[in-house]
Amino acid sequence: MFTSSKCSHIRPILINFGDSNSDTGGVLAGTGLPIGLPHGITFFHRGTGRLGDGRLVIDFFCEHLKLSYLSPYLDSLAPNFTSGVNFAVSGATLLPQFVPFALDVQVRQFIRFKNRSLELLSMGSRNSFGEDGFRSALYMIDLEQNDLLLALYASNLSYAPVIEKIPSFLAEIKLAVQNIYLYGGRKFWIHNTGPMGCAPKELALHPHNNTDLDRIGCLRVHNDVAKAFNEGLQKVCKETRSEFKDATIVYVDIYKIKYNLFAKYKKYGFEDPFMACCGYGGPPNNYNVKQHVASLVTASAEIYHSR
């Protein structure tokens, strides 16, 4: 889809829609919520708004394509949009609509960004890209995990009620692709959802016994829901390929990639796959919900007292 070869005449452009899996500072810029160390400790050595100890998948994309890291759309202080733009915001959902920063809101922000970029380019600005860039850009969508988790919490971790909601979630992704296509997008990279039941936070939050776990120790109901969603998403991608013959729509099996990391963690250099990298509390999951809530309260207090 893209190549970093010097022979390529196509300038790589990435336009991303997502949640915390690909948020490079959107929630920090949009809410002001301090996200400091240990987030960013292994690479940036400071908090950048990324919810992790280092780089995200999208950062490695940028490095491979020799691009600068994507600036959040919401960043008002010296953003760099020459390599693309990132609309992802931690905590974002597919539904409900019209709520910051749901996928439909991110798509409307994209439309605004495109219209304003073309206007500024006509006035001599160089901090963006033109119509050709928007048409050749890779549009990445990685946003569904929070909807599935919220539905699981609301159903007391029951499978059937969550499955009933999946068609409405999928409809939002399909609508986003259709709208982006109307505004020139032709290359789509759509992530499925990962094995949510392997996340240290989920294992720490929900009391369980061995019958609740799969063969490698992940919460079974979470991963069954994820697999059901992914099956539907794959069908949506197939449908949109038929609808838009001149578009390239790639379905990315993130579930398989991440599950393999948990299942064969020693092969990839991990010591304990179910310990959070930026958590607190030690084994078994390095996640303490009371400490997490306390840190948010402290952050809010700091904002209040700094006024």
- The kind and range of the H/E element at 252 are strand 248-252
What is the Cα–Cα distance from 35 to 51, expressed in whole angstroms? 8
pLDDT tens sequence for the chain (307 residues)? 655 444 455 779 999 999 999 999 999 999 988 888 888 888 998 888 898 888 999 999 999 999 999 999 999 888 999 999 999 999 999 999 999 999 999 999 999 999 999 999 999 888 888 999 999 999 999 999 999 999 999 999 999 999 999 999 999 999 999 999 999 999 999 999 999 999 999 999 999 999 999 999 999 999 999 999 999 999 999 999 999 999 999 999 999 999 999 999 999 998 898 988 777 788 888 888 766 544 443 443 343 333 4
Contacts of 76 by beta carbon, 8 Å cutoff, 6+ apart: 29
Which SS3 state, helix, strand or coil, does residue 37 take?
coil
DSSP structural state of residue 190: E
pTM comes to 0.90
What is the Cα–Cα distance from 152 to 149, expressed in whole angstroms? 5
Q: What is the pLDDT of residue 126?
A: 82
Q: What is the pLDDT of residue 38?
A: 83
Q: What is the pLDDT of residue 2?
A: 55
Which SS3 state, helix, strand or coil, does residue 250 take?
strand
Handedness of CA 53, 227, 252, 265 (dihedral sign): positive
Q: Which two tokens stand for residue 209?
A: 């016994």
Phi, psi of 134 (to 5 degrees): -65, -35
- Check: CB of residue 219 under 8 Å from CB of residue 280: no
Phi, psi of 155 (to 5 degrees): -95, 10
Find how far residue 129's CA is from the centre of its chain: 23
Measured from the Cβ of residue 75, the count of other Cβ atoms closer than 10 Å reads 20
What is the Cα–Cα distance from 22 to 224, expressed in whole angstroms? 23
Q: Which residues are registered as beta bridge partners of 250?
A: 189
